[in-house]
Amino acid sequence: MSHPARPPETRPTERLGRRLASGTAIYQAGDNGLAWRLQRGVVRLDSVGRDGEWQFASLAIAGDILGCETLLLGSYAFSASALTDCSLSPWPEGAPALAGESLLASLATAQRRAADVVALRGGQAAERVLGLIRLLADAGGRVVLPSRQDIADITDLRFETISRIISNLQRENLLTPLRVAGVHATRSFQMHCPPA
> What is this structure's pTM?
0.80
Going along the chain from its start, the domains and CATH numbers come out as 12-119 (2.60.120.10), 125-191 (1.10.10.10)
Instruction: Report how far residue 3's alpha carbon sits from residue 91's, in angstroms, rounded to the nearest whole number.
Output: 26
State the chain's mean pLDDT as an integer: 85
Mean per-residue pLDDT, 184-191: 80
Give pLDDT tens digits for 60-91: 999 899 998 888 888 999 999 999 999 999 98
